[in-house]
C-alpha cells in the first residue's frame, strides 16, 4: 500500500487514482479516506486525478501517540502533496477535514492550491467561547470523549445510526450498510487519536485561516446537519472567505456526501469544471 513519511516520522497512507487535474480529499472524524469513495470513483471516471489520505491515527495510517492537532494534520497533508508533487490542486474537506483544508491552504498551500471545497465543515469554531457565544457547549464534546473512552464501538454505532446521517429522523430511509461502513472506518483507527482529535476539530479557531484563503471556495452544507449546525458554521465561514459561494441543501444531513452523493457530486463537478 502507498505510504509517505511525515516530517516527524509518521507513516501516512494515501490513495492516488486516475490522471488529470488533481483533487485531494480530507476526511472527517473519526473516519478514513474510504469515506470519500463515492466522490473518488465519480471524479476518476471523469478524467480527474483523485488523492485521499488517512489522517494520522486514522484508517491505515500509523497509530502514533503524538501530533493529534490541526497543525500536524495540515503538515501531514502537505507531506502527501509534496511527495506526489501536486500543483493546481482542488482541496475538498468534510467536517474536521474542512478545518484541515483551511489550515493547510492558509499555511502550506501557496502556489499549489487552485480551489477549495468545504462540506459540512467544522469551521470557523465549533466550541462555545466568549468570542463565539453561538458555539456548542464544551459539555457536548466532553460527551464525545466519554463515548470514545468507555464504549467506543457502541458509541460509533449510535452516531452512525442516529444523527450523522439523520437516520434518527421520522421516515428516514435507513441503510445498514452505511451504518456498518461508518463503524468499520471508525474502529480501524486509534482510540487515542480519536479522543485527542475531538479537541482538534472542536476547539481550534480557524478564523484567521479562513481569512487567508484567496482562491475560489465552495461551501456545501445540509440544513438538517445535527453534527455541525449550519448557522454556526457554513454561514459564518462564507462571510470570512473572500471568494466563497455557499449552497445549503434543504433537509440534508451531515453525511450527505454519502447519502446524497448524486447531488453533491454534481455540484462538485460543476465547481471543478468552472
Q: What pLDDT digit, counting tens, does each position of 96-137 carry?
A: 999 999 999 999 999 999 999 999 999 999 999 998 999 999
Output DSSP code: residue 55.
Answer: P
CB of 165 closer than 8 Å to CB of 253: yes
CATH assignment of the domain containing 105: 3.40.50.1820
Residue 243 pLDDT more than 90? no
Domain holding 115, by residue range, is 3-273
Instruction: Count how many domains the chain has.
Output: 1
Other CB atoms within 10 A of residue 179 CB:
20
User: What pLDDT was estimated at residue 193?
Assistant: 98
Angle separating helix axes 37-44 and 261-273, nearest 10 degrees: 50
| Spatial CA neighbour of 37 closest among 59, 70, 56, 57 | 59
For residue 57, give Cα distances in angstroms to 30, 76, 228, 248, 256.
Answer: 9, 12, 22, 31, 24
Kindly state the average pLDDT of the residues 193-214: 98
What are the strands of the beta sheet with 113-119, ordered from one edge?
3-5, 11-17, 49-53, 22-26, 89-94, 113-119, 217-222, 244-249
Structure-block grid coordinates of residue 93: 474537506
pLDDT > 90: percent of the chain: 99
Residues 6+ apart with CB under 8 A from 61: 3, 10, 11, 12, 13, 53, 54, 55
The reported pLDDT for the residue numbered 246 is 98
pLDDT higher than threshold 80 for residue 14: yes
Who contacts 201 (Cβ-Cβ below 8 Å, separation ≥6)? 29, 70, 95, 96, 99, 122, 126
Share the mean pLDDT of the chain.
97
Q: How many CB atoms lie within 10 A of CB 254?
A: 25
Decide if pLDDT at 219 tops 90: yes
1 pLDDT above the threshold of 90: no
Whether residue 265 has a cis bond before it, omega within 30° of 0: no
Amino acid at each position: 500500500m502507498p505510504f509517505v513519511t511525515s516530517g516527524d516520522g509518521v507513516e501516512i497512507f494515501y490513495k492516488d487514482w486516475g490522471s488529470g487535474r488533481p483533487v485531494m480529499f480530507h476526511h472527517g472524524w473519526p473516519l478514513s479516506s474510504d469515506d470519500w469513495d463515492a466522490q473518488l470513483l465519480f471524479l476518476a471516471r471523469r478524467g480527474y486525478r483523485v488523492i485521499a489520505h488517512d489522517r494520522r491515527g486514522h484508517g491505515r495510517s500509523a497509530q502514533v501517540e503524538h501530533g493529534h492537532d490541526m497543525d500536524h494534520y495540515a503538515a501531514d497533508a502537505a507531506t502527501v502533496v509534496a511527495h506526489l508533487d501536486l500543483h493546481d490542486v482542488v482541496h475538498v474537506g468534510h467536517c474536521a477535514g474542512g478545518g484541515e483544508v483551511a489550515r493547510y491552504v492558509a499555511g502550506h498551500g501557496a502556489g499549489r492550491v487552485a480551489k477549495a471545497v468545504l462540506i459540512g465543515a467544522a469551521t470557523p469554531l465549533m466550541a462555545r467561547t466568549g468570542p463565539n457565544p453561538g458555539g456548542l457547549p464544551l459539555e457536548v464534546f466532553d460527551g464525545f470523549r466519554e463515548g470514545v473512552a468507555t464504549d467506543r464501538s457502541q458509541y460509533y454505532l449510535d452516531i452512525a445510526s442516529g444523527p450523522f446521517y439523520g437516520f434518527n429522523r421520522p421516515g428516514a430511509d435507513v441503510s445498514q450498510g452505511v451504518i456498518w461502513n461508518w463503524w468499520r472506518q471508525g474502529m480501524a483507527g486509534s482510540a487515542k487519536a480519536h479522543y485527542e482529535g475531538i479537541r482538534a476539530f472542536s476547539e481550534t479557531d480557524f478564523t484567521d485561516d479562513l481569512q487567508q484563503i484567496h482562491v475560489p471556495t465552495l461551501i456545501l452544507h445540509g440544513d438538517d446537519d445535527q453534527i455541525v449546525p449550519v448557522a454556526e458554521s457554513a454561514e459564518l465561514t462564507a462571510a470570512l472567505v473572500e471568494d466563497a459561494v455557499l449552497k445549503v441543501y434543504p433537509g440534508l444531513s451531515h453525511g450527505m456526501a454519502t447519502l446524497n452523493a448524486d447531488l453533491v457530486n454534481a455540484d462538485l463537478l460543476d465547481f471543478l469544471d468552472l
